[in-house]
Structure 1
Amino acid sequence: MQTSRFLTLLTATALFAATAAPAARAAGTRAEGAKAGMAQAQSLSGAYLAAKSAQRDGDLEAATDFFAQALSMDPTSNLLRQDAMFAFLADGRFKDGVDMAAKLRDAPEASKVARMALGVDALGRGNFDAAIAEFDLPNPSDLDALLIGQLIAWSELGAGRIDAALSRLDELDGAPWFAIFNNYQKGLIADVAGRPDVARVALRKVVDDQESARTSPDANHAAAEALARLETRTSNTDAALEAIEAGLELVPTYDPLLHLKERVEKGETIEPAIATVQEGAAETLYILGQAINRGDGQQVALLYFQLARALAPRNPALLTALAGIAERSEQLDLAISYYREIPENSAYRRTAELQIGLDLWYAERKDEAKAHLTRAVRDFPDDIKAHTALADVLAADKDYAEAAKTLNKAIALSEPGQTANWNLYYQRGIAFERTKQWDKAEADFKTALELSPNQPQVLNYLGYSWVDMNENLKEGLDMIRKAVELRPNDGYIIDSLGWAYFRLGRFEEAVEQLERAVLITPMDPTINDHLGDAYWRVGRTREARFQWERALVGEPKPEREAAQTIRAKLARGLDPADVKAKAPSGAAATNTERAARNSAANDPVKTPGSGTKAD
């Protein structure tokens, strides 16, 4: 299913997206806003402009505060109400958003969002017929029809009309991708209504349809969990475990199913997946939100999640999704606050603890991050992800010796021979290489490639290392070329190929590759520095100096020793006798850090690993 097919959600989507758009350049946070205090605007225009500016910066808390100030000065402006409603809903200020929605129910550009909010409010208060009336939108798009149809079905159930609820889902006959969502919701509704046979059939359709799982992995996993809970409550433990295993086939490390499996095997009492109509409606919003939670659809997903949160404020999957959106917009303190709301007994709690530690690191609260992840390793001593998360921040902090020790524990805990283990050996190989234990590093890189032969990061790192040491030159160059073929738009890997040519004295080829790398990653100081060196060797000295100057002002800034070397080259050029012109010290570590948000394969925890080698 293409994301674009979902993006006809609401006529007001574009306006909502513009209103809620998070900033990529600033990490506006609730905590920071609270510390600084909110400024008081001196005029209506000042309050409105400040609100719009805060929106552009991704600081929704400040935006909503300024909108509230503007509304106190002009409470009758529909344009102001409209902008404020979208901002309130995006920021999770549901009551304020509903207050605005009541005034905008019939406004052409805002009525769909307004009625959606009013319907959710009525459903949350148990006024189910009023909710149905609000959800009955005119001229719905495909996704509109699916969403409101499912919300109406839950409202019918709340009103005691079970058959009407189930019929509503059966009548939602639209695009082919409707099926997985409708069957999942039908299973939940039938389960809550006390019709286990109907629920079992509907949920089994979702679990068994692996092809549709690509449409919504979240629905597939959730259906497996709901079916397993249903089977356990009807004393069919084998069927419950079978449903769990079916879900784990898609993602073997999915925590909620692993946690449930452990509980089922222990014979614990298992609660139903959904206990109330409100939780069910929230699940509808969450599952459909996850289906569009990427690219341009992220802002609509945020609206879904905040509406769902009004119905199920402690839903751990929902809180995790909100934290993910906050992380992608670099609102790290906000992400941490969502993770900390996840209940202690939730299957999501372990991952939340690890993400808190990593987010603390990216928020430059490095000592807190290391302390937090050290506690996580103590709390979860048998958890590989806890050890790797700690190892990654240690490596990013250049404490490679401790990182290697921590990775030793992770590898000892891992099951030998698993493909996913390649990253453990790769990261430990980097730690060994940085601590000048090349024999151990080389062995780990080779093991990583035995487990997963086409990993461009490993091919690049090992291949470049060999070229740099004048060993296995043909094999090393072939590895780097293969890495470039696998990642043709990765400026850092192309930089490695160019710099390998430079090391071998093949300066024209070096220039060709390094110019490609700079086009892709124009302001990286290491790549600019390398291109400057290559230009100098082919006699393009003016262009060389330009690139060295760019290297000094690039982001991130070069390290102190590297900056001194670049300034010396600007003053004197390159020594003609120094054919290999040493690369800036510490560039490999820098490159590891600048790939910091890449996650390991099949690992939901974002880690600072998977860097590229450039020197």
Structure 2
Amino acid sequence: MQTTRLLSLLTTALLLAGSPLSALAAGSTSEPPATATIGIQAQSLSGAYLAAKAAQLEGDLEAASDFYRQALAIDPDSDLLQQDAMFAFFANGRFEEGIDLAAKLRDTPEASKVARITLGVDALRKGDYDKAIAELDIVNPSDLDALLLGHLTAWAELGAGRVDSALSRIDGLDSAPWYAIFNAYEKGLLAEVAGRVDVARRSYGQVVDDQELARTSPDAYLAAAEALARLEMRANNSDAALAAVDKGLELVGSYDPLLHLRQRIEKGEMIEPAVADVQDGAAETLYILGQAINRGDGQQVALLYFQLARAIEPRSPALLTALAGIAERSERLDLAISYYREIPESSAYRRTADLQIGLDLWYAERKDEAKEHLRRAVRDYPDDVQAHTALADVLAADKDYAGAAEALDQAVRLAEAEDSAGWNLYYQRGIAHERLKQWDKAEPDFRKSLELSPNQPAVLNYLGYSWVDMNRNLEEGLDMIKKAVTLRPNDGYIIDSLGWAYYRLGRYEEAVDELERAVLITPMDPTINDHLGDAYWHVGRKREAEFQWERALNGEPAPEPNVVEAIKVKLEKGLQPETDEGGSADGQAEPAEDASAPSGPRANATPPESGTEAD
């Protein structure tokens, strides 16, 4: 029909490089009211559709959903429009609206797979298990789809009372070697819900006893350790329960759910099972597989899995945390904060939520709220290293280095003295002391950081350059910067430090060589361009120096006002002795910041993301 042709043309114009799933990575929200919320009324079908697509591309799925509803009101029969709207509704957490469209699109080739999976999930959550099995019987699935469909179907089989069939279905999933950890964990959950405790114990143990499996999915490994600990505690085997917890903590020592569970076990509390019923199990399936692919392009599909899981289990703290993480990566910080605030006070995820709320408030430019929130978090978690570190990060970003140093004093006091992971605490405190011009305190911190972790390029760069800048330990300092460059040969900021160290030592030709390399890697940085301009001036390449200073004025991020004025003076009068002493345009040379420098307040307050190996 003509409408479908129009929408096809619009889709081609807007999303040549994308697919209908391209918007799924943009963010999500809890189930909102069905009424329009943006207050903007499109004047035509094409206007509504274009506005919906534009909102998707900008990551505003709430507005996209509203415009899709307006477009559907004009033309409710377009398959293409229904398909795009269905994906947006599911990504936005509007499950009921998405299901209505899925029922219409069940047999449409372009949308059939997603439509049938979501219809199967809907049947599962409603307890209509035979219908779920029928919907999930999809031919020629990919490896990932086959695993998801097999696990969800096994839960439906269990719900229908066919325990042996459910467990056999898991055993029959063997087309890819990476299935192993997921199959063992799922079989344990199924067996435990079915009351077959020995089978569950063996299945969980199969995961926990082979830490190599964690390379495929750290989340599944940690979940299996937690499930085994819960099972053993419910069987009055507290020692075995603690042993299972310890296995998980060997992988990630700061994983809050296991630390929280350990405290409860030691208190002798009643411990709930990992999943309570078929619905919980199906939601866990979607969550664990979603976490396994929740990075890069896979985040699109992970968001769909998470939202389907939330349709079954809307209050899951793990799901809320995962959805908040996607919202953060999409820079939808208010949405992330709203997810974190839904997490119950009693949850093991509450501490993570509190710290991330503070950091998200900062990045949302609600800086006073952020500082107050994190000060309250420090009061609530006085013995928590990450709480003090998060506060220090925002204070340092606010240039309150005295406050940052004080918070880091507490973090260092609480951290294990010889824990190599603590190098960053000393590094950050060293920077705070250096900015306060307390070098007698800064240098020991940098040295301690390198003692704990000798090959940290950020620390080598900072300490080495600081020495060169102060005309101390020149050879050792230059060697440190060279080592940092060797460790990070493609880091323009560290190469800039090496070039600038040569400049400060009067080795201008060598400075030019390094600074030219740095500016090729990081061409828009104003400081690097400014440094190269100064070096060019000293070797007589004055026209090129002026060109680099002009580039510095137009760099990203924009230089500070005092730097702008100093560069303008150089453009007018050339490099003057009074500006040449410190070398840089503002007369105050500092070590170049790199990706590891605390230039922004992002603390490691969340558990390790799926797909990364724990340290």
SS in 2 for 1:109: coil
**1:130-149 superposed matches below 5 A:** 130-149=131-150
Query: 1:254 deviation in Å?
Result: 0.7
**1:354-373 superposed matches below 5 A:** 354-373=355-374
Query: 1:584 deviation in Å?
Result: 4.7
Q: Deviations over 1:254-277 (max 9, x none)?
A: 111011011101111111110121
Among 2, 10, 19, the residue aligned to 2:23: 19
What does residue 39 of structure 1 align with?
A: 40
Paired AA for residue 201 in structure 1: R
Q: Determine whether 1:121 maps to 2:122.
A: yes
What does residue 4 of structure 2 align with?
A: none
The 3 A distance-change label for structure 1 pair 472 and 560 is: same
Identity %, equivalent residues: 71
Q: Determine whether 1:111 maps to 2:112.
A: yes
Q: Deviations over 1:517-562 (max 9, x none)?
A: 2222222222222222222222333332232223223232222222
**1:68-83 superposed matches below 5 A:** 68-83=69-84
**1:298-447 superposed matches below 5 A:** 298-447=299-448
What does residue 192 of structure 2 align with?
A: 191
Q: Deviations over 1:336-384 (max 9, x none)?
A: 1111111111111101100010011111111110010000001111111
The 3 A distance-change label for structure 1 pair 131 and 587 is: farther
Paired AA for residue 23 in structure 2: T
Query: 1:325 deviation in Å?
Result: 1.1
The 3 A distance-change label for structure 1 pair 566 and 30 is: farther
Worse overlay, 424-433 or 485-494: 485-494
Q: Is the 8 A contact 1:374 1:390 kept in 2?
A: yes
Q: Is the 8 A contact 1:28 1:58 kept in 2?
A: no
Worse overlay, 352-361 or 315-324: 315-324
Q: Is the 8 A contact 1:396 1:589 kept in 2?
A: no
The 3 A distance-change label for structure 1 pair 571 and 444 is: same
The 3 A distance-change label for structure 1 pair 108 and 189 is: same
Q: Is the 8 A contact 1:530 1:583 kept in 2?
A: yes
CA distance in 2, matches of 1:308, 1:467: 56
What does residue 568 of structure 2 align with?
A: 567
Unaligned runs of 5+ in 2: 1-16, 610-615
Q: Deviations over 1:473-498 (max 9, x none)?
A: 11111111111121222222122112
Paired AA for residue 457 in structure 1: A
Q: Is the 8 A contact 1:396 1:592 kept in 2?
A: no
**1:445-594 superposed matches below 5 A:** 445-575=446-576, 579-585=580-586, 591=593
SS in 1 for 2:176: coil
CA RMSD of aligned residues (A): 2.5
Worse overlay, 148-157 or 319-328: 319-328
CA distance in 1, matches of 2:400, 2:86: 48
CA distance in 1, matches of 2:479, 2:391: 33
Paired AA for residue 406 in structure 1: A
What does residue 6 of structure 1 align with?
A: none
**1:24-103 superposed matches below 5 A:** 37-103=38-104
CA distance in 1, matches of 2:140, 2:133: 16
Q: Is the 8 A contact 1:481 1:497 kept in 2?
A: yes
Q: Is the 8 A contact 1:355 1:605 kept in 2?
A: no
Q: Is the 8 A contact 2:492 2:521 kept in 1?
A: yes
Q: Determine whether 1:225 maps to 2:229.
A: no
CA distance in 2, matches of 1:313, 1:364: 29
SS in 2 for 1:249: helix
Q: Is the 8 A contact 2:465 2:481 kept in 1?
A: yes
Q: Is the 8 A contact 1:119 1:132 kept in 2?
A: yes
The 3 A distance-change label for structure 1 pair 468 and 601 is: farther
Aligned length: 589
Q: Is the 8 A contact 1:30 1:333 kept in 2?
A: no
Unaligned runs of 5+ in 1: 1-12, 607-615
What does residue 5 of structure 1 align with?
A: none
What does residue 613 of structure 2 align with?
A: none
Q: Is the 8 A contact 2:450 2:456 kept in 1?
A: yes
CA distance in 2, matches of 1:193, 1:421: 45
Paired AA for residue 526 in structure 1: T
Paired AA for residue 17 in structure 1: L
Q: Is the 8 A contact 1:390 1:406 kept in 2?
A: yes
CA distance in 2, matches of 1:296, 1:285: 17
Paired AA for residue 384 in structure 1: V
CA distance in 1, matches of 2:192, 2:592: 53
The 3 A distance-change label for structure 1 pair 432 and 159 is: same
The 3 A distance-change label for structure 1 pair 90 and 483 is: same
Query: 1:280 deviation in Å?
Result: 0.8
Q: Which has the higher contact order (CA 8 A, sep 6+)?
A: 2
